[in-house]
Amino acid sequence: MNQYEQIKRGERGAWLSIVTYLLLASLKIIFAQLTNSQALRADGLNNATDVIASVSILIGMKISRKPPDHNHHYGHFRAELIASLIASFIMVTVGLQVILNSIQFIWKDHTSEPAMLGGWVALGSAILMLGVYFFNRKLAQRINSQSLYAASQDNKADALISLAAFIGIVGAQFGLIWLDPLAGILVGILIVYTAWKIFRDASVTLTDGFEIESVIEIRAFIEKDPDIILVKDIKARHDGNQIYLDLILYVDPKMTIEHAHKITDRIERGLAVEFNADQTHIHLEPDPNDS
């Protein structure tokens, strides 16, 4: 399965998130009004932003599947990450608004006991979102999609947010009325935190950040090759669900070009299998210590 087919499969996860979020956002906002629950209202607004975030990711995936053109020679794979950035900006805006609204309810003493029906809606939502999380996480790992993995983490955060709303509503049934808007504040904080994580991960990848641990593993893998004297330099970056590598390797200066070519082919195949690094550029240099 090539990279474009993997992205197309990943779109199913984005569609699942969109449909689920649309359903839950509508139910929660309606029942929040009926049950007078600030926590459930905050949770519903969170799901409304998740719809926008999921749509952004879906659009990014569709753009990513466009083939290379005259001014995008490497393709459009980073469109997914740009979509993730846009989604994070929307999420943090709504998260801050949820926090401010909940604080105002406590400050102005507008709190009142929410109906338990809202709690059952929140609990059912948490269970449903856990199912979506497991589906998207498994799919993201199978196709190695960073944006879908980020979406799955958002799914998990949404399940926890709904659980927090449920706890707040349950607490209000025992006279702790302030626990409902307090849960709303917690929901807002979780929204902002999730947005920050999505922004951070997308920014690192867009600026060609790469995990130090992975570089160490790649270096160790190459050094196992009997014809490689030294790994002089490794540069790595993510592009969509692939890894791009630029390597400078020291070899025996007396070897033939044919032998050197066989070495590069062998290393490229190994890196593709072990690290999904299908785009590898290898520059061989004569060992300076072999005079």
Domains of the chain: 3-206 (1.20.1510.10), 212-286 (3.30.70.1350)
Q: Is the pLDDT of residue 100 over 60?
A: yes
* Contact predicate 26/141, CB 8 Å: no
Phi, psi torsion values for 230, nearest 5 degrees: -160, 140
User: What type of residue is 98?
Assistant: V
**Would you say residue 111 has pLDDT above 60?**
no
Tokens of 109: 């003493």
Indicate the pairing of strand 230-239 with strand 242-251: antiparallel
3-state secondary structure 136-161: HHHHHHHHCCHHHHHHHHHHHHHHHH
65: Cα separation from own chain's centroid: 18
Amino acid at 256: T
Q: Does the reported pTM lie above 0.75? A: no
- Is residue 240's pLDDT more than 90? no
Mean pLDDT, rounded, for 274-287: 87
pLDDT at 2 over 60: no
What tokens were used for 236? 């790595």
249 vs 192, residue with greater confidence: 249
Q: What does the pLDDT read at residue 65?
A: 72
Question: What number is the average pLDDT over the span 38-43?
Answer: 79
Per-residue model confidence (pLDDT) at position 231: 92
CA–CA distance, 278 with 273 (Å, rounded to integer): 8
